[in-house]
Every structure is written in structure tokens, then in C-alpha cells.
């Protein structure tokens, strides 16, 4: 239930303190403890200042900090509320009950990942010491070849701990708290949460099967927008893949947007089932990140990154101060896997299997009169009227899928179905069950 603290005693909710940072910390603590929940309305600055016997300026400063950290949102007239997704605690994925078929996790099919043990047995310990080079020369050469083959200039390369680590490092290299970041809507929930956790403000850009819509992107590029995060293929959750034509249109828009950083998250490179038509290098500040998570396995935690000289330099400099570098054991492991013709054949086979599984579900849905999207990658996105009713109804029939809420800003309701391990027979059964659930919930198979 949403609480309105406007008239009640702030101490009941654990809000106290004499200084702005103490007050802000007490609000954060109450959110983490669950005493304050998303949507709860806080007292006005004046009332809270009276209740805590501090000046209104102190409370206003605490509220400013909480807004910058993404904990509070303030709207005219309705005052300050706890934000819908305060970036304080890690929100685990909803549990998939045992017995249910897991179409919820977004994971690659473990049976389609290459076996790592033969490569593990072949890699030699590097013996590297502090101060040595950050990037394994074999991995660098492969990253340069792979990115250049997609038309990405690869003269400045970094190696990072996966696509999300790359996105965080690139945004952190240029942005300040409060800056706006344009994100795909619907988009990957971890990107939305990361943007908020960095005290940045996500702004939605709608997309279709071919990627972000150029006109909508141009309109979203207000002077407050400092960065754009795009997925070139295997867009999560909608499955879009940027076509060659769309990439030209998006590059034109970004060439006019002086100083806006463009980050391209190629998280499923290799198994996306669509070519990579890059957009980011058209901008002055840019980075393209290619992760091995979906093709070689999420636990390798490695992505290669190409960027403009300044961005790459800042990333390397900051990385040196923190984690130092990505372990050369991992780098050699990825280089060894990338060089192995058997592994390359297996990745290609996985990409084809994912394409067939996605297509099988899409055609089973069409046969039931249900429209859905999924041009590439591991997921299919199905518009529905009521997400929770559909998720619960499907669970009752033994299927776990993901409600779209965490992936959306302004876009309409939908559910995400991960097709990576879905057989054709199961796709047919699933589509029939979904049709029955939709029919039971609103008397027709397609949302109004
Ligand atoms: C769009 C998107 N980006 C990034 C990731 C995570 O990539 P990594 O494991 O390389 O951080 C995912 C995982 O599903 C994703 O869907």
C-alpha cells in the first residue's frame, strides 16, 4: 500500500537527522528496510523541517541529494515521492517455481554453449605482474578484426568485465549526476536500473523491429540529453535488429547531435542472428561493446570495447586505478575459444538454433492470432493488456515468463518470453495456452 507521510510523524518511518546527509541517509535506510516503499509521499520540505527542528534549507539539500541518487522523484503539486525503482538494493529476478518451464530468465541455452574445459586445459598462466600490458595481444588482434569486420573503427580497444561493465564505464567516463540518458523503450531493465543507480535520468526512445525510431530520437535529443544507449541487435526485450537503412538514418541524427555520447551494447554478438550495422562511431564520443556472454557463456564476464581515443583513454585510466585489468587468464581463454574452428562452428550452430526457436514461437503465436515481436536474439515480446494476469495465468499452466514492467518507461504492457531453449512442440503448446489465458482474461486473443 502507498503511504502518505504528509500528515504523519516522520519518526514513525525512521526519518531523522540533524544534517542534510543524515536525513538523506535515514530516508535511504528506510527504503532499504522496506519501511518506505515506491510511491510513498514524503512530507513537504517545510513540514519535515519543523518536525526535525532543522532549517528548510537542510531538508531541501537532503531532498536534492536523494533526487540525484534516484531515490526521490518530485512532481509539481504532488510533492516528493519515493521513486518507482529506487536504485538501492539489488532486485533479484522473480523466482521461477520448480516444475514450471523457465521462459523467463533471458539466459542462453546451456546446451548450446561451447564446452570450456578443453580450452581451459590449453591456457597457460600468464605470469603477468603489476605494470604489465592490460590487453592480451592475441585477444586485441581478434577484437580488432571482429569489430573492423562490422565497420567499427578499432584503433582504440579496451577489455572490460562484460557488456554492463562496459556501459557503466563509458557512461561514467563522461556523464555527471542528473544528466539525461536516452534509452530504448522497452529496453533492458538492468540498463534502466544502472542509469538510475548512477544518478542519471533515463529518457525513453521508442523503437520498432529495426531499432530506435529516428524521428523520435531526434525529438528526444534535447540539450539535457548527454548520452544514448543502443542495442544494435538481439534487443532485449523486443528483439529488434538495426538494419543497414535504419543505421544510416540513426547515424544522420547522431551526427547532428553535437557532443552526445553514443554507447552500443552488442551483448549477443555471434548468436544474435543478424548482422551488426553500427551507429555509434558516427558520434564524436562513442563506444561499441561486444560481449561474449551469450555466445561463449555469461560466466566468462568479458567484453571487448572500441571507442574514440578520449573515451578509451578515460576507461583505461580509470580501470587501472580500480580493478587494474581483466585477468589475462580470462582474456587468453576467450582468445583460445575464438581461435578454435570447432567453437566457431558451435557458435554459428547456436545462432541458427536460436533463430529457429524464435521463428517457431512467432509462427505458433500467429496461428493463434497473437501478434508479437522478435527479429533477432533470444526473446520474443508479446503485447498484452494486463501483464500480471497473463504471467499468473501462464504460471498456472506451467510456463514462467517475465512481466514487461521492469523493461518499460512509457511503452505499453507486454510480456517477455525467452525462446533460447524452447522446442517447436513446446512453442505450439505455449501459444495455445497463451491464447486460452488471453481469452479468459479479456475475451479475445489480442489486446485492444
Ligand atoms: C541488452 C543486454 N545488455 C547486456 C546484457 C548483459 O551482458 P553481460 O553479461 O556481457 O554484462 C544483457 C543480458 O541479457 C542484455 O540483454
pLDDT (tens digit, 9 = 90+) per residue, 113-123? Answer: 999 999 999 99
- Within 13 Å and on the Cβ side, how many CA atoms surround 208? 7
Q: Is the pLDDT of residue 68 over 70?
A: yes
The answer to whether the beta carbons of residues 97 and 59 sit under 8 Å apart is: no
How many angstroms is it from 97 CA to the middle of ligand 1?
24
Where residue 67 falls among pLDDT bands split at 50, 70, 90? confident
Q: For residues 332 and 139, give the distance between their C-alpha atoms in angstroms, rounded to a whole number.
A: 7
SS3 172: helix
Residue whose CA is at the smallest distance from ligand 1 atom 3: 267
Bridge partners for 307 per DSSP: 287
Where residue 445 falls among pLDDT bands split at 50, 70, 90? low
Cell 494486463 belongs to residue: 386
Cell 521462459 belongs to residue: 103
Residue whose CA is at the smallest distance from ligand 1 atom 7: 163
pLDDT in tens, 169-199: 999 999 998 899 999 999 999 999 999 889 8
How many angstroms is it from 439 CA to the middle of ligand 1?
34
**C-alpha cell at position 358:** 524464435
Q: For residues 78 and 5, give the distance between their C-alpha atoms in angstroms, rounded to a whole number.
A: 12
SS3 274: coil
Q: How high is the pLDDT of residue 76? A: 62
pTM attached to this predicted model? 0.88
Where residue 1 falls among pLDDT bands split at 50, 70, 90? low
> Cis omega before residue 62 (within 30°)?
no
Instruction: List all residues whose CB is within 6 A of at least one atom of ligand 1.
Output: 106, 162-164, 188, 231, 236, 265, 267, 291, 293, 298, 303
Q: How high is the pLDDT of residue 79? A: 81
Where residue 127 falls among pLDDT bands split at 50, 70, 90? confident
Where residue 134 falls among pLDDT bands split at 50, 70, 90? very high
Beta pairing, strands 211-212 & 201-208: antiparallel
SS3 64: helix
Q: What is the mean pLDDT of the chain?
A: 93
Integer-rounded Cα radius of gyration of the chain: 23
Cell 501462464 belongs to residue: 394
Q: Is the pLDDT of residue 448 over 50?
A: no
CA angle 201, 203, 209 (to 5 degrees): 140
Buried b (16+ CB within 10 A) or exposed e, 45-76: bebbbebbebeeebbebbbebbbbbbbbbeee
Kindly state the percentage of the chain with pLDDT values over 70. 95
**C-alpha cell at position 157:** 580497444
How many angstroms is it from 13 CA to the middle of ligand 1?
37
Residues in the chain: 448
Q: How high is the pLDDT of residue 39? A: 83
The answer to whether the beta carbons of residues 31 and 71 sit under 8 Å apart is: yes
Amino acid at each position: 500500500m502507498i503511504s502518505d507521510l504528509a500528515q504523519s510523524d516522520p519518526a514513525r518511518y525512521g526519518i531523522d537527522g540533524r544534517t542534510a546527509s543524515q536525513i538523506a541517509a535515514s530516508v535511504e535506510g528506510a527504503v532499504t528496510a522496506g519501511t518506505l516503499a515506491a510511491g510513498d509521499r514524503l512530507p513537504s520540505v517545510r513540514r519535515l523541517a519543523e518536525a526535525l527542528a532543522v532549517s528548510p534549507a537542510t531538508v531541501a539539500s537532503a531532498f536534492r541529494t536523494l533526487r540525484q541518487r534516484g531515490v526521490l522523484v518530485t512532481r509539481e503539486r504532488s510533492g516528493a515521492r519515493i521513486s518507482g525503482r529506487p536504485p538501492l538494493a539489488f532486485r533479484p529476478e522473480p523466482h521461477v517455481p520448480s516444475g514450471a518451464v523457465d521462459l523467463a530468465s533471458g539466459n542462453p541455452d546451456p546446451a548450446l554453449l561451447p564446452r570450456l574445459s578443453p580450452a581451459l586445459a590449453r591456457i597457460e598462466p600468464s605470469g603477468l605482474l603489476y605494470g604489465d600490458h592490460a590487453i592480451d595481444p592475441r585477444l586485441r588482434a581478434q577484437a580488432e578484426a571482429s569489430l573492423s569486420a562490422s565497420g567499427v573503427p578499432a584503433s582504440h580497444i579496451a577489455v572490460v568485465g562484460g557488456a554492463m561493465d562496459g556501459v557503466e564505464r563509458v557512461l561514467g567516463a563522461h556523464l555527471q549526476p542528473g544528466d539525461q540518458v536516452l534509452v530504448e523503450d522497452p529496453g533492458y531493465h538492468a540498463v534502466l536500473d544502472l542509469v538510475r543507480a548512477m544518478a542519471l535520468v533515463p529518457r525513453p526512445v521508442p523503437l520498432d523491429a529495426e531499432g530506435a525510431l529516428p524521428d523520435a530520437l531526434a525529438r528526444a535529443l534535447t540539450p539535457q540529453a548527454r548520452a544514448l544507449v543502443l542495442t544494435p541487435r538481439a534487443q532485449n526485450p523486443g528483439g529488434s535488429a538495426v538494419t543497414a537503412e535504419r543505421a544510416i538514418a540513426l547515424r544522420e541524427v547522431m551526427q547532428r547531435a553535437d557532443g552526445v555520447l553514443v554507447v552500443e551494447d552488442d551483448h549477443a554478438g555471434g548468436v544474435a542472428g543478424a548482422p551488426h550495422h553500427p551507429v555509434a562511431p558516427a558520434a564524436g564520443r562513442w563506444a561499441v561493446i561486444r560481449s561474449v556472454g551469450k555466445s561463449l557463456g555469461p560466466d566468462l564476464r568479458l567484453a571487448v570495447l572500441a571507442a574514440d581515443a578520449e573515451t578509451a583513454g578515460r576507461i583505461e585510466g580509470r580501470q587501472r586505478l580500480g580493478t587494474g585489468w581483466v585477468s589475462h587468464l580470462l582474456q587468453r581463454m576467450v582468445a583460445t575459444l575464438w581461435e578454435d574452428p570447432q567453437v566457431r562452428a558451435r557458435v554459428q550452430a547456436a545462432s541458427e538454433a536460436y533463430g529457429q526457436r524464435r521463428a517457431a514461437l512467432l509462427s505458433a503465436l500467429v496461428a493463434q492470432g497473437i501478434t508479437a515481436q522478435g527479429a533477432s536474439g533470444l526473446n520474443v515480446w508479446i503485447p498484452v493488456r494486463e501483464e500480471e494476469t497473463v504471467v499468473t495465468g501462464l504460471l498456472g499452466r506451467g510456463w514462467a515468463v517475465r512481466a514487461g514492467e521492469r523493461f518499460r518507461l512509457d511503452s505499453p504492457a507486454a510480456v517477455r518470453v525467452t525462446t533460447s531453449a524452447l522446442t517447436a512442440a513446446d512453442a505450439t503448446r505455449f501459444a495455445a495456452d497463451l491464447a486460452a489465458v488471453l481469452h479468459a482474461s479479456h475475451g479475445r486473443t489480442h489486446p485492444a
